[in-house]
Amino acid sequence: MTDSQTHTHLAERVEELLAADGPLPIVAAGDPVLRAGAAPYDGQLGPALLSRFVAALRQTMHAAPGVGLAAPQVGIPLRIAVVEDPASGPQEVMDARGRTPLPFRVLLNPVYEPEGEARAAFFEGCLSVPGWQAVVARHARVRLRGQDEHGRALDEVLTGWPARIVQHETDHLDGTLYLDVARLRSLSSNEAVAERWSHPTPEEAARELGFELS
């Protein structure tokens, strides 16, 4: 298949997704699109279609609800993601997690690299693995590079929960699910997390379930 044919095929798939009203269907773990790795975005959708697709991703993220969504999670293998976090919740939890508001933004071809050695471990979930959470130790501070939906360069340093969100969504574009890097002994249902492990940090869960935080 030529590049032109590939572009046309992807655009047609996006048009089909957008033909239905409402949030897009989210692909669940087990679908190969979540494991194949996404192709760099180089204009396959065109400005108008990209804008519509981004709006649908945002709508789907809000409806889930979630704080990030990558294109492969709706079956489109392109390096596109959206993130947004109003950062609401108990102040003690917000402070412990470094959870600060992350304004809506579109990430095209994002990559990140750690800034420093510090890591932070917290429970994390995924819209493609519904009903479950597990503890993931991630870089506490990362440098994000990429482009926005207008092709403008992104180059910024993120810390705390915004850094976690960016790592999670960028990993999706590389075919990595959070369970690949999680402490699997921490795997808990959403109900168990709410009932037992809703503390600001997962230290008690680590002691009781027998896993390392570092």
Residue 128, Cβ density class (10 Å: 0-12 exposed, 13-18 middle, ≥19 buried): buried
Residue 6's pLDDT band, with cuts at 50, 70 and 90, is low
Q: For residue 14, is pLDDT > 80?
A: yes
Residues 6 or more apart whose CB falls under 8 angstroms from that of 20 comprise none
Q: What is the pLDDT of residues 58-71, one digit of tens each?
A: 999 999 999 999 99
Q: For residue 4, is pLDDT > 60?
A: no
Tokens (6 digits) for 72 = 């492969």
Q: For residue 159, is pLDDT > 90?
A: yes
The answer to whether residue 214 is domain-embedded is no
Q: What is the mean pLDDT of residues 164-179?
A: 98
- Here the CATH number for the domain that contains residue 76 is 3.90.45.10
Binding site: which residues? Answer: 126, 168, 172
> What is the domain extent for residue 75?
3-209
Residues annotated as catalytic are: 169
Please indicate, yes or no, whether the overall pTM of this predicted structure exceeds 0.75.
Answer: yes
Nearest Cα residue to 61 out of 39, 77, 84: 84
Binding site for Fe cation: which residues? Answer: 126, 168, 172
The answer to whether residue 157 is domain-embedded is yes
Question: What are the beta bridge partners of residue 70?
Answer: 81
Domain total of the chain: 1
* pLDDT, position 88: 87
